[in-house]
Structure 1
């Protein structure tokens, strides 16, 4: 065999190899319908709050559980301005899930200030943990009940916030209007600072307990907590179902050596009405079947239980969440 013949044989062999490989590839494509078999991933975003608060660590734990246990879903927690900002984001569907105080969510759903129009597309998934209203005063200031706040400078919360809305309701239940006090519209961090500086007489804080800012204040100040009147407040709670009685245990803060009766509004996990029903079902299922991973993320996580899922819920449930609660017997 001469040199030219050898080259020709090699070329023929090479062509046969290429044809054989091509045929195998075509067979594989035929077996899979010629489609890309890579699984499509659904991305889910959760708007929480500031990284120093409670929403973010609990939200991050929730998204970690979703990513791990809901097939083909990647969830991420976003740090945001919390309840009011989150409700505006979910109204625009720029996120898929949010965390919000129940009282603020109810205000958004109704279109109350600071919301210009009702946020009618929001739907509840679950209640998380109670955000407790704390009436903080300096010990020895001569105040024993909420009625003693008459004529005093009271930080009632940032204007239009859920704290401010609820503070007004609770004060009115005790016969006090803004005309009877000197209201200061401060967020809870500003309110505690103002109390430290003795610029106000009472700071009303709505947050999970123990609240870090209040713990810090109690380290340098002698503080006390005012209790709500049970009979006066009971009438309000019969009408406003997202508020509940809670007890602030003695020892929660330095110097507070008695149980204090108060009111709480839960933090909620919320979505919008166009979120896929099966996806919300799987998210709800993943949360409650893997609670220890969420409960361990923050001290308040222990309050997240299936039994408390609907406690203080101020919104219509998303059908996917409702389906899960019916499957577990929580809803009959």
Structure 2
């Protein structure tokens, strides 16, 4: 073997060894507790990324405290991407509300996901009709780290109330609605896409009714913070006597600005170029409106921006 051929052989072997040693970039996706809507959503996103983003990127969904906790986890580097709500992302970017201690979290939006709706439910024969009627009542408010409390902390002052005006039960959504049907609490709440599993399970054995807002109060709440929106849940979803006119918010996938733009662009493409596959795996994904990704409360991550700019010219 000549010197040049030996050198070529050595170089080929070196490159082959280098290629074989390259490992996929492993990304942790912060979701929420098991049993909620975020974990299966995160699982479906991870499946799309693992299948379509390239062999050098892998993703795994991580159980977390939920939408309130996730921006802090992202800021600390405990996860590389996370799910949260539009209103919480806005607060995290500004370092306000539950993120004052951490300070502003440098992050961008990757994708708008399904809307979450604040389900406020009572038994059909309850004397609770409006949000203000919750005063003095026992209310299942969801887990302490979940997004429901963020909504309540916003709505209480608008109704001259505070958390101390109710007796809160900090339990999972499924446990909260079980407490509602067995009479342990007077009302139950869940911030979730719809249909929500916990509500469906309760509605299978009991007649439920939506708690409404006093006339004009819902619009006032939305006018004061455009991150929120009105969502109508048709009566036939849970078999209620009437539709629910509720407050909701878009969920989103977020990433730190330090995450490479190329990586984020490929993740965004894996989601939106395979949206039908996403929707077949996850029912909440059927409510995703791709156009909403460019109308969220925080700016797009550079990688997501590149994807949507490219997609708009195709």
TM-score range (shorter-chain normalised) is 0.7 to 0.9
Task: Tell me, yes or no, if structure 1 residue 250 matches structure 2 residue 210.
Answer: no
1:73 to 56, 72, 77: 56
Task: Tell me, yes or no, if structure 1 residue 113 matches structure 2 residue 95.
Answer: no
**Matched residue, 1:57:** 40
**Matched residue, 2:199:** 214
Contact 1:157–1:205 at 8 Å: present in 2 too? yes
2:258 to 274, 281, 287: 274
**1: distance between equivalents of 2:175 and 2:182?**
11
Q: How far 1:202 sits from its partner (Å)?
A: 1.6
Q: 1:161 to 1:46 in 2, by over 3 A?
A: closer
Contact 2:138–2:169 at 8 Å: present in 1 too? no
Contact 2:46–2:61 at 8 Å: present in 1 too? no
The 3-state SS of whatever aligns with 1:220 is coil
The 3-state SS of whatever aligns with 1:164 is helix
**2: distance between equivalents of 1:194 and 1:118?**
37
Contact 1:167–1:204 at 8 Å: present in 2 too? no
Q: 1:189 to 1:113 in 2, by over 3 A?
A: farther
Deviations 1:13-34 (A, max 9, x none): xxxxxx46x864433456x696
Q: How far 1:249 sits from its partner (Å)?
A: 1.1
Deviations 1:281-312 (A, max 9, x none): 2221221111111111221110123123245x
Q: 1:51 to 1:126 in 2, by over 3 A?
A: same
**1: distance between equivalents of 2:151 and 2:110?**
22
Task: Tell me, yes or no, if structure 1 residue 27 matches structure 2 residue 27.
Answer: no
Q: 1:186 to 1:166 in 2, by over 3 A?
A: same
**2: distance between equivalents of 1:148 and 1:307?**
37
Deviations 1:154-211 (A, max 9, x none): 33444464311212323443x3402783241524334323322323222122111111
**1: distance between equivalents of 2:157 and 2:218?**
10
**Matched residue, 1:10:** none
Q: How far 1:223 sits from its partner (Å)?
A: 1.4
**Matched residue, 1:7:** none
Q: How far 1:50 sits from its partner (Å)?
A: 3.4
**Matched residue, 1:125:** 110
**2: distance between equivalents of 1:54 and 1:218?**
18
**1: distance between equivalents of 2:32 and 2:186?**
28
Q: 1:169 to 1:288 in 2, by over 3 A?
A: same
1:295 to 253, 265, 279: 279
Larger radius of gyration: 1
Number of residue pairs matched by the alignment:
307
Deviations 1:123-153 (A, max 9, x none): 2111101111111111112233223334333
1:265 to 234, 240, 249: 249
**Matched residue, 1:96:** 80
Q: How far 1:234 sits from its partner (Å)?
A: 1.6
Bigger mean CA deviation after superposition, 268-277 or 103-112 = 103-112
1:83 to 67, 75, 81: 67
Contact 1:159–1:185 at 8 Å: present in 2 too? no
Bigger mean CA deviation after superposition, 289-298 or 65-74 = 65-74
**1: distance between equivalents of 2:225 and 2:289?**
22
Contact 1:67–1:73 at 8 Å: present in 2 too? no
**Matched residue, 1:186:** 170
Contact 2:203–2:238 at 8 Å: present in 1 too? yes
The 3-state SS of whatever aligns with 1:143 is coil
Q: How far 1:229 sits from its partner (Å)?
A: 4.3
